Amino acid sequence: MDIKYFNPYSNENFLGFFYQLGLRLYGFISGQIPLRELASDEIQLIVLMSLAGSAALVGAFLVLRKMTMLANSLSHTILLGIVAAYVMSSNGILEGDEHYHPINIQAMLWAALGVGILTVFLTEFLTKKARLQEDASTGIVFTSLFALGIVLVTLLTRNAHVGTEVVMGNVDALQLEDCKLILIIFGLNILLTGLFFKEYQITTFDPALANALGFSTLFYNYLLMVQVSATTVGAFRAVGVLMVLAFITGPVLTARLLTHRLGTLIFMAIGIGFFASLIGVALSRHILSVYGVPFSTGIVVCVIAGLFLLAIIWKKIERSRLFGKFQAKDLVSTS
Amino acid sequence: MIEASPFQYFVDPVLRAPTLGSMLMCLGASLVGVFVFLRRQSLLGESLSHAAYPGVILGVILSGLLSFGESEEVYIAIFIMGGAAITALLGLWCIYALERHLGVRSDSALCFILSVFFGVGLTLASQVQFSYSYLYRQAQVYLYGQAATMTDIHVIVYGVLAFIITGVVCLFYKEIQTITFNRDYAKSIGMNVRMMDAVFFVLIVIAVIIGIRSVGVVLMSAMLISPAVAARQYTNKLSLMFLLAGLFGLLSGYLGNYLSTETSLWFQRVYPSSRLALPTGPMIVLVASCICLLSLLLAPERGMLLRMCRIAHFRQRCMYENLLKAIWRLGPHQAVSFEQIAKHQSTSKFYLRFVLWRLKRNGWLQTNDQKFYQFTHEGEVWAAKIVRLHRLWEVYLVDYLGMGSEKVHVNAEEMEHIITPDLERELTLLLHDPQRDPHHQPIPPKAF
Amino acid sequence: MPTTPTHPFAFQAHQLTVNYDKTPVLWDITFDIPQGHLVGIVGPNGAGKSTLIKAALGLLKPISGSVDFFGKPLRSVRTKIAYVPQRQSVDWDFPITVRDLVLMGGYGRLGVLKWPRKADRVAAERYLEWVGMDQYADRQISQLSGGQQQRVFIARALLQEADLYFMDEPFAGIDLATEKVIMGILSKLKAEGKTVFVVHHDLNTVENYFDWAVLLNMRLIASGPVKEAFTAQNLQATYGKSFSLFDEALKLSQEKTHGAVS
C-alpha cells in the first residue's frame, strides 16, 4: 500500500485546485504522469463522478416509477450483503481500527445481487401474502434486515465503528482499486440503460401497453433493481450507503425542474452530478487548505442540495417572466 | 450466563434508567406508529428521523461552543433534542413544500429530504469529530442509539413526553378514528382536519426525538411501523390496536435493552481486549421485528400459518364431500365396494383407503361383512345436502343466469362446498324450490 | 404498406374463461367478428369488458379457451394489433412530449435495440394531424386536457398501423370536439377495412357509433350486427338480472381460498 507523501493539491484553494487539475490532466493524457500516481483528490473525483453518473441513470427511472423508497430499502439491506461478502472474501476477522481491507469485487457484486433480489422478494411477499400496505412492508423489511446486519457486523468485526463507516463511507481512504469497481459499474449502467432505453421508457410510462406490445414489465423491474444494487454496493465505500440516495434523487429532481424530455433529463442529471462532484471535491480541498477544517463527502450532498435550490429559484424567475407573456396569449388562443 | 436477573433491570440504579427510558420511548413511538400506519405514511418517520440528525449535531456543536463538559449533560441533552426537533420540523416543511408547490411525488420528496438532511448531518459530524472530539461520542450515540448512558433525568423527560403522547391519543381518539378512515366525511361533519394534521405532525416529531436516543436515527422508523403492524394482526378495533401496539412497544424496549446489555457484558467477558458495547438500537428493532413476524404468522384469524391451516382444512373437507357425493351417486342405500368407488377417483388407491377409513372412523360411513361401504344416517344426510347444493346451484346458473347447461357442472363442483345455509335458503326461495336439476336429475329435499 | 390479412374473421374467441381465484369473471365466451366492423362492447360495470380485452391481448391468463386473430394466435400477429388502454392507467406527469408519446406506438415494431426512424417521425406528424393535435407536438403531456390526452393516445395507436384496434372506454370523460374527432377516425378506419373493438359505457350512443354489438355480462349475451343484437330483450338479459347471489357466492369462495374466517 503506497502512502502518498506528496499531494499536488495540498494547500490549493478553490481556483488553484482547478488549475492543478488542468495541469495534471494534461500530464495524464500526454503520458508524462503514470496512472498509478493519481492523487487522492483525483481518485475521489473519479469515484464520485462515476457514482453520480450511475446514480443519475438509475435514479431517473426510480423517480419516474415512484420506486425511490425501494432504493432506500435496498441501500439499507445491502449491509447484509456486504457482511456476507465480507465473510466470503476474507476469512479473517479484523481487530482494531483497520479500515482498509481486501475487497473481493466479485463477492461484493454477487452479494449485492442476492440481497437486492431478497429485498424485493420479501417486500412483495409481505404485500401480497400478508396483505400488508406497501409502505409498511418496505419499512419492516429494510429495518429488520439492516438491524440484523449491524448486529452481525459489530459482532464479527468486534468493531463498533464499522456501523458508522457503512453509513458515512470513508472517502479519504479510497485507493486506486476502488476506482476500478465503480468505473465498471458506471460502464455497466451506461450499457444497460442505453441498450434498453425505450424499453425502460415504455414499461415505466404505460405498463399495460408495454405488456400488450410484448415487453415484459417484470423483467425490466428486476433489471432496474440489479442496476440499483450494483450502484449502491459500489458506493458504500465512497459515500456510505445512505448518501447514494442523494445522488439518486437530487440531480434527477433538479433536472426535472428544467426539462420535459426524458433523454435530456438523464443527460442533465448526469451533468449535474458530475458538476456537483467536481465542485464538492474542490470545495473540500479549499476549505481544508484555507481554514484547515476537513470536511469529507458531505460537501457534495450540500452542493447537490444547493443546485436544487438554484433550479427552484431559476424556475420561479422564469415563471414570473413568462407569466406576462401567457396572459396575452390566453386571450387570443382557444384550447 | 445471565449477568443480572430481569427484575434487577428495573431496580438497579445503573440499569434502571436505560431500561425505563427505552420502554417509555418505545411506548410513545408505537402509539404514534398506529396513527402513522392508518394514514399510510409509514415512511415519513424514516425521513424525519434522518432529518433530525443534523439538528443533533448542531446541538452538539452549540454545546461545544459554550464549552459544556460532562457535568452539563442535561443541557447538552436539551440542546440536542431541541436541535433535533427543529431540523425534523424543517424537514417536514420541506417535504410538504416539495409535494405541494413543486409537484414532486411523495416518495421522491421523502427520499430526497432524507438523504440531503442526513448528508448535511454527516458532514457536520465529521467536523465535530475534528473540533470537539470529546463531544463526538454524543453525536455517535444518536446514530444507532445507546441507552446504556441514559440517566434518570432522561427517563423523566421521556416519561413526560410519552405521557403527552398517550394523553393526546386518548383525547382525540374520535377525531383520529374518523379522519384517518374517511377524511372528507370528517370535514363534512365539522371536524377540524387541519388541526389534527398539525397534531399528527407534532406527535411524530416528538416520537422521533425521544426515539433517536434509544434506537438511533437510522432505525427509528422501525419502532413506528413494527408494533403497529403487529397489533393490527390481532384486532380490527382501533382502541385495542393502540393498546396492543403500546404493549408490544414496551416489550420490545425492555427485551431489546436487556439483550443488548447481556450480550455486551458476555462479550466483554469472553473477549476482554475489545471494549465492545453493542448499540441498543439494532437489538430493540430486532425484537420488535420478531414480534411483528410472529404476529404475521401466528395471529388468530389473520396469521399466515393459521390461514394456511384453514385452507388445508377446507381442502380436506372438499375431499370428503366429493367422496361422499360419489358414493351417493353410486346408490344412496346400497353398499358399494372399494373397487366401485375407486373406479372414478383420480387419487391413489392408498390415499383413497385412508380417506375412507377416516370417514368411517368419524361416523359417516360404515362397513358390512363383505367390507362394502355404506352410509350411516349422518353420512347420508351430509351427502344428500352436498348433492342438493350442487344441483340447486346448477339450476341457478342455467335457469336464472342463462348459462349453457353443459358448462355448469365444473363451477357447481366448486360452489357446492361453499354455499352456506343462508345462501341455500335464498336460492330455494328464488328458484321456487326446484325438484329437478338441468340434467333432469332429482334434487334431494332439504334435510331437517 | 402492409397488406390486410385475408382471413374472414378478425377476431375469434373460443370458450374463453377467465377466473378471479376460483370463480369466473368471463365464462365460456365464444364469438367471431368478421373483418371491417366497428364493434361496441357493452355490459354492466365489472362484467368483464376490460377483462376480455386484457385476456385477448395476453395481459391476463385465461383458465381455458383461446383467442385467434385473423386465424392465428397472438404471438404471430402482434404487430397487426393496436391497444388503447384506459386513460387513468397512465401517469400523465411523465416527462414526455406529445410527439414522443406517439412515437412510442412504434416500439413494438422496432423491437429491442432499435431507434425510431425518420419515416416513423413523418408518420407521427401525419397521425397527429389526423387527430388535430399537430400544434401540440412539442407540448408536455401534463399540459393536455382529458380530450386531448385521448386523441394523442389514439394517434399512438394509429402509428402502429394495425389491422385490429382495441380501445378501452375512449369516449369516457371527453369533450364534444374530441368525440367528433374520434368518430371521424373510426369511420376512416372502417373505410379502410380495419376492425375496431371499443369498450363502451353509454348505451344511448351504441346505435350511432357501431355496426356490430357484443353484449357481455360474465357470459356472452349476444354478438351480431347492431340491429339484430342490440335489442330490448338482450339488454334486459344483460342488465336486468340481479347478480347479487352470485356476487355473494363469489365473495365466499374468495374468502375460503385465502383461508379467512367467514
Q: What is the ipTM of this complex?
A: 0.87
The percentage of residues in chain A with a pLDDT greater than 90, rounded to a whole number, is 27
Phi, psi at residue B219, to the nearest 5°? Answer: -105, 0
Looking at the partner chain, which of C23, C219, C252 has a beta carbon nearest the beta carbon of B403? C219
Helices marked H in B215-303 — which ranges? 220-232, 238-270, 280-298
Distance spanning both ends of chain C, measured CA to CA = 60
Interaxial angle between packed helices B42-65 and B73-102, expressed in degrees from 0 to 180 and rounded to the nearest 10 = 130
Backbone angles phi and psi of A24, in degrees to 5: -65, -40
CB pairs under 8 A between A and C: 66
Q: Which residue has the cell 411523495?
A: B106
Q: C132 by DSSP, 3-state: which?
A: coil
Grid coordinates belonging to A321 = 417572466
- Minimal CA separation from B391 to chain A, in Å: 34
The beta-carbon contacts of A255-258 under 8 Å, at least 24 apart in sequence, are A256/A63, A256/B104, A256/C95, A257/A308, A257/A311, A257/A312, A257/A314, A257/A315, A257/B102, A258/A311, A258/A314, A258/A315
Q: State which H helix or E strand residue A324 sits in.
A: helix A298-332
Residues of C in contact with A260 (CB under 8 A): 95-97, 140
What is the tens place of the pLDDT at every residue in C83-130? 998 888 888 888 888 998 898 888 877 877 778 888 889 999 999 999
CA distance A77 to A115: 7
Distance, in Å, from the CA atom of B221 to the CA atom of A242, rounded to the nearest integer, reads 15
Using a CB-CB cut-off of 8 Å, the residues of chain B touching C258 are 307, 311
The whole-number pLDDT of residue A326 equals 59
- Chains near B, with 3+ CB pairs < 8 A? A, C
If you search the block for the grid coordinates 402482434, which residue do you land on?
A: C78
Predicted local distance difference test score (pLDDT) of residue B127: 76
Say what the pTM is.
0.84
Please choose, from the candidates B46, B311, B89, B64, the residue with its C-alpha nearest in 3D space to the C-alpha of residue B206: B89
- Strand B365-367 to B373-375 pairing: antiparallel
| Residue C95 pLDDT | 83
Name the interface residues of C facing A (CB cutoff 8 Å).
Answer: 57-59, 78, 81, 83, 85, 89-91, 94-97, 100-101, 104, 107-108, 110, 112-113, 115, 140, 145
Distance from CA of C135 to the nearest CA of A (A): 11
Q: How far is residue A27 from each of residues A30, A31, A32, A38, B384, measured CA to CA in Å?
A: 5, 6, 5, 11, 95
- Write down the residue that cell numbers 476500478 correspond to: A180
How large is the average pLDDT for residues A102-130?
Answer: 81
pLDDT at A334 (0 to 100): 45
C241 to B407: CB separation less than 8 angstroms, yes or no: no
CB contact under 8 A, C59 and A208: yes
Kindly state the helix (H) or strand (E) to which residue A61 belongs, with its residue range.
helix A40-64
Distance CA A242, CA A261 (A): 28
- Best residue in B236, B307, B418 to probe C by mutation, most C CBs within 10 Å? B418
- Distance (Å, whole) CA C192 – CA C36: 8
Phi/psi of residue C39, nearest 5 degrees: -105, 125
Secondary structure (DSSP) of B217-229: TTTHHHHHHHHHH
Strand pairing category for C212-217 and C219-225: antiparallel
Q: Which of A94, A246, A66 is closest to A155 using CA atoms? A: A94
Mean pLDDT check: name the lowest of A133-137, A254-258, B71-75, B210-214. B71-75
Establish how many alpha carbons lie within 13 A of residue B349's alpha carbon, considering only the half-sphere containing its beta carbon. Answer: 4
B125 part of contact set with chain A, CB < 8 Å = yes
Q: Which residue of B has its CA nearest to C222?
A: B402
DSSP C240: I
pLDDT at A92: 46
Report chain B (448 residues): mean pLDDT per 10 consecutive residues: 65 80 92 91 91 91 78 79 93 93 90 92 80 74 80 85 92 86 81 88 91 87 94 89 94 90 81 72 93 92 87 90 87 80 80 86 83 84 90 88 80 87 87 84 78
The amino acid sitting at A264 is T
| Nearest residue on chain A to C95, alpha-carbon basis | A260
Does any CB of chain B come closer than 8 Å to the CB of residue C30? Answer: no
Which residues of chain A have a CB within 8 Å of the CB of B298? none
Chain centre to alpha carbon of residue A277: 11
Cell numbers given for B313: 382444512
State the cell numbers at A140: 419492516
Contact status of B423 with chain C (Cβ, < 8 Å): yes
With contact defined as beta carbons under 8 Å apart, do C44 and C238 qualify? yes
Mind listing the pLDDT tens digit for each residue in C171-203? Answer: 988 999 999 999 999 999 999 999 999 999 888
CB nearest to C108's CB, from A196, A201, A213: A213
